[in-house]
Structure 1
Amino acid sequence: MQQQVYHSRDIQAWEQRWFSKQNSSYGLMQQVALTIALKLQKKIESLQIKHIAIWCGSGNNAGDGYCVATFLKQWGYQVDVFAAKLGDSKDLQQAYAYALQNDVRIHEGFEINQIYDCHIDALFGIGLNRQLDEHWQNIIDQYNQQSGLKIAIDIPSGLNANTGQPLPVAIKANITYTVLGRKAGLYTGQGKEYTGDVNVITLIPVDEELPILAKLTDKKICLPSRQAFGHKGSYGHVLVVGGHKDMGGAVIMAAEAAFAAGAGKVTVVCDARHHTSILSRAPNIMLRDINVLDTEHIQVLLDQVDAVCFGMGLGRDEWAEKQYQLWYPLIRHTSDLEVVLDADALWFLAQTPNQLDQHIYATPHSGEAAKLLACSVQEVESDRISAIRALQLKYAGQWVLKGSGSLILENELWICTQGNAGMGTGGMGDVLAGMIASLKAQFHEHITLHDIVTLHAQAGDVLAESGQRGLQAQNMSHAIYKVVNR
């Protein structure tokens, strides 16, 4: 069963429905704190932690912190709470009073004068959606400068629960114990930089009124075994179109990725000056000169293939625009053709928007998405989920918004939790385009777009096993070969 992700406002509404059935809000706060404290106890013992500091704000997230402090104190641990002015919540005040009754030391403010082995963040909860002022920014910076194990309750304070953007700073945790359900901001945007290992504290039953925002992609993907009598014609023919005279590398990486993912045949159509270098690197790739193909020849070629990835290294000059206007209408209207639009094809799509069918997969990064939506990169990154929904609303089709926590919008929204920062290098998008074309050529509707994105991320993780710095997309083929044969 896929892991589901929710919007913070829907989590809060779900809580209120639970409380309206005469369930105790303070009782739930204690259950949350007890569950976290029990999980922490194992970590504390394994790391031989002795001194624990809990940082509490003014809302109910602080109430969780006071309750955690109380349980840890009762179990004999040395606990100090550093706290902001107490808020008006009755549950918070009850948790505060209970901590005092159990001799928990509570200090006003956040002046830390000794070293603690563990710091627990209970400053802000999931409701935070405003930019923090300088006072709170300084407190969060102070927290991040401390040594020891860092724990966040529900969400790292300062991180937007739904977008994964810091406001403008956030706690950097080693472990996040998120309460009731997963929030999107833990997995996309900049969220992975702040959350560490995410553990979900599930304590109340999900009701029918709780809408699912997204799902996390499966980590285990098993492709069907090949039939013993298969041949190169059984596994799809991929066409890679791009390769401006000044940019030959992108089509090579897309084509090699298509072969590594299992395509039976791959043809590259590009400027002929790249042909020698392509053949010297991968003699199994078939080649055509993009400059000598007219409409009739292109249509014949399209009728012979199962999938096409279009736009890698195409360029954006007058020649590239002419090629786009020649190829795109034919690609778009060829029936049963799986189509990947990437890179410069997306640039020209933004110039002349049109509706894409369900067999067209568009794979922008945030810069390309901004061009497609006629907005800024900052606007895209500030709310990636809204951005990908806006892309599908405007253009239809299926979409991948690449980046940390890549988003995939098919009939449902998916978040890819795999991959690594080392993949932030030129050519990784070309590799993804080649993989999508290859696997769709082989399996069509029997493989999902989000499964392919996950396989690409897993290949990146294989490549990063010896380190993330210095990864190169040209080395992805062997890693792809490994993950598609698991």
Structure 2
Amino acid sequence: MQRSVYHSQSIQAWEQRWFAQQNSSLGLMQQAAWTISQQLIEPFNKNKIQKIAIWCGQGNNAGDGYYIAAFLKQHGFHITVYAAELGQSLDLKQAVQYALLNRVDIQSIDYLLSENANHQEIPTFDCHIDALFGIGLNRMLDQKWQSIIHLFNSQIGLKIAIDIPSGLHANTGRALPCAIQADQTFTILGYKAGLFTGQGKEYVGKLHLVSLIPIDTELKPLAYLSSEKIVLPKRQAFGHKGSYGHVLVVGGHTDMGGAVIMSAEAAFHAGAGKVSVVCHAKHHQAILARSPNIMVRDINALDEKTIQHLLTQIDAVCFGMGLGRDEWAEHVYLEWFNLLNQNSHLEVVLDADGLWFLAKHPQQLNPHVYATPHSGEAATLLGCKPADVEQDRIVAIHNLQQKYAGQWVLKGA
């Protein structure tokens, strides 16, 4: 089953189209708050969570918080709202009025930060709910808001974020520069990219989707999540090692034999029936001593004709592990990779030093080539800094695919 992941602007466009169909923003706010509060009541009662603090900012996310406060108050929970100075949104003001009508205790966040406040005197709550910022946040937080987030994170009790942990960029998953450390996040309408990439997973906790309205089919997802587990097919009783594919690992410069050994063993763990390694002959003894089921060839003893013949016996190739970056390695890259990129019957994983040489000798990759850089290698390929890649990993991987074609996996979160 695939689940769609969206850019924050797509979610906002989704909302605007919904409002254009005579649906109100206030109604959506109330629906989100009611749905979330209904999902909280049973686990709160089960875990004896009674005293709840809801921290509200200045925008629509805060409106969700005020309505959640009112709905939970109606079910007998003891609610305190710590409130920022109100923004100009009419929906937010109505949400505050509804909370007051339900006798919700509303206190000032600013007082908590003042010199007169004693942080030790903040009551102990069973749960703190973050409704400070939503998905529109795209700037670095000033010192005041950083202090609020640090104060929230320092409290004892379950921590829940509404839509996205405040301080986290909805598209990149970057903390700006700090974010709410949630145990659970209830994200509204659709999954946002920042919940899964960058630093997102460090802050989100257990993730719940609050769908609310029909999916807008005009919106193209940014990416997809797959919940399918990768399960190796059951081996047939009459099968043999030749029935399950032959993987070739190419690399292993004189002082980097470990890379090809680990890659070869990983190929067996992934289900390959046969695995061969082409590397410096000095590594052969170590390879066979560790894994005698691996076949070895001397990389220096193979000419182009022999390589082409060998590739006819292979189903997949892992290229570049421990290859090195000297003149010898460059010769190996140019001799081997042009053949691999042109050979459409092979699945090719290009990694490590192979990526470094791709940056040095750029070419368009065929669809059967899977390049697997980490952020440092991706930066080399794009001519930027690793920090630029980490700042927006999704943009980075799109740029890699546009520049080099092929298939790309950016390591990391």
- The TM-score with structure 1 as length reference comes to 0.81
Equivalent residue for 2:116?
A: none
Task: For residue 409 of structure 2, give the secondary structure of its aligned residue in structure 1.
Answer: strand
1:185 has 2:217 as partner: no
1:304, distance to aligned residue in structure 2 (A): 2.0
Task: For residue 340 of structure 2, give the secondary structure of its aligned residue in structure 1.
Answer: helix
2:228 to 219, 236, 241: 219
Provide Cα deviations, 1:146-199, integer angstroms capped at 9, x if missing partner: 110000000000001111111111101000000011111111111100000010
Provide Cα deviations, 1:339-380, integer angstroms capped at 9, x if missing partner: 110000000000111000111110111111111111111111
1:231, distance to aligned residue in structure 2 (A): 2.5
1:304 to 305, 313, 318: 313
Equivalent AA in structure 2 for residue 296 of structure 1: K
1:150 to 150, 154, 159: 159
1:202 has 2:211 as partner: yes
Task: For residue 3 of structure 1, give the secondary structure of its aligned residue in structure 2.
Answer: strand
| Bigger mean CA deviation after superposition, 106-115 or 339-348 | 106-115
Equivalent residue for 1:260?
A: 269
1:42 has 2:51 as partner: no
1:223, distance to aligned residue in structure 2 (A): 4.2
Equivalent residue for 1:106?
A: 106
Distance 1:31 1:273 in 2: 68
1:303-452, aligned counterparts within 5 Å? 303-404=312-413
Residue segments in structure 2 that go unaligned for 5+ positions in a row? 113-118
Task: For residue 299 of structure 1, give the secondary structure of its aligned residue in structure 2.
Answer: helix
1:112-191, aligned counterparts within 5 Å? 113-191=122-200
1:292, distance to aligned residue in structure 2 (A): 2.0
Equivalent residue for 1:243?
A: 252
Equivalent residue for 1:417?
A: none
Assess if the C-alpha contact under 8 Å between 2:344 and 2:368 holds in 1.
no
Assess if the C-alpha contact under 8 Å between 2:356 and 2:377 holds in 1.
yes
Equivalent AA in structure 2 for residue 75 of structure 1: H
Provide Cα deviations, 1:23-80, integer angstroms capped at 9, x if missing partner: 1211111111111111111221122122111100000100000000111111111111
Task: For residue 121 of structure 1, give the secondary structure of its aligned residue in structure 2.
Answer: strand
Task: For residue 394 of structure 1, give the secondary structure of its aligned residue in structure 2.
Answer: helix
Distance 1:281 1:47 in 2: 51
Count of residue pairs brought into register by the alignment: 404
Task: For residue 348 of structure 2, give the secondary structure of its aligned residue in structure 1.
Answer: strand
1:225, distance to aligned residue in structure 2 (A): 3.5
Distance 1:234 1:129 in 2: 53
Distance 1:53 1:208 in 2: 37
- The TM-score with structure 2 as length reference comes to 0.95
Distance 1:346 1:17 in 2: 43
Equivalent AA in structure 1 for residue 317 of structure 2: V
Distance 1:230 1:159 in 2: 51
Equivalent residue for 1:66?
A: 66
Equivalent residue for 2:280?
A: 271
Larger radius of gyration: 2
Assess if the C-alpha contact under 8 Å between 2:124 and 2:156 holds in 1.
yes
- Could you say if the C-alpha distance between residues 61 and 324 of structure 1 is closer, same or farther in structure 2, counting changes exceeding 3 Å? same
1:235, distance to aligned residue in structure 2 (A): 1.6
Assess if the C-alpha contact under 8 Å between 2:161 and 2:185 holds in 1.
yes
1:446-461, aligned counterparts within 5 Å? none
Provide Cα deviations, 1:414-439, integer angstroms capped at 9, x if missing partner: xxxxxxxxxxxxxxxxxxxxxxxxxx
1:221, distance to aligned residue in structure 2 (A): 3.5
Distance 1:43 1:354 in 2: 55
1:20, distance to aligned residue in structure 2 (A): 1.2
Equivalent residue for 1:453?
A: none
Residue segments in structure 1 that go unaligned for 5+ positions in a row? 405-486
Assess if the C-alpha contact under 8 Å between 2:232 and 2:271 holds in 1.
no
1:222, distance to aligned residue in structure 2 (A): 4.1
| Bigger mean CA deviation after superposition, 26-35 or 89-98 | 26-35
1:109, distance to aligned residue in structure 2 (A): 1.8
Assess if the C-alpha contact under 8 Å between 1:243 and 1:250 holds in 2.
yes
Assess if the C-alpha contact under 8 Å between 1:55 and 1:120 holds in 2.
yes
Equivalent residue for 2:17?
A: 17
2:240 to 220, 227, 231: 231
Distance 1:335 1:116 in 2: 61
Distance 1:334 1:157 in 2: 49
| CA RMSD between the two structures | 1.3
Equivalent residue for 1:4?
A: 4
- Could you say if the C-alpha distance between residues 176 and 335 of structure 1 is closer, same or farther in structure 2, counting changes exceeding 3 Å? closer
Distance 2:157 2:229 in 1: 34
Distance 1:15 1:335 in 2: 44
Task: For residue 12 of structure 1, give the secondary structure of its aligned residue in structure 2.
Answer: helix
Assess if the C-alpha contact under 8 Å between 1:158 and 1:170 holds in 2.
yes
| Bigger mean CA deviation after superposition, 295-304 or 221-230 | 221-230
Task: For residue 401 of structure 1, give the secondary structure of its aligned residue in structure 2.
Answer: coil
Distance 2:226 2:321 in 1: 26
Assess if the C-alpha contact under 8 Å between 1:59 and 1:92 holds in 2.
yes
Assess if the C-alpha contact under 8 Å between 1:7 and 1:184 holds in 2.
yes
Task: For residue 288 of structure 1, give the secondary structure of its aligned residue in structure 2.
Answer: strand
| Bigger mean CA deviation after superposition, 344-353 or 218-227 | 218-227
Distance 1:357 1:329 in 2: 11
Equivalent AA in structure 2 for residue 325 of structure 1: L
Assess if the C-alpha contact under 8 Å between 2:249 and 2:319 holds in 1.
yes
Equivalent AA in structure 2 for residue 88 of structure 1: Q
% same residue: 66
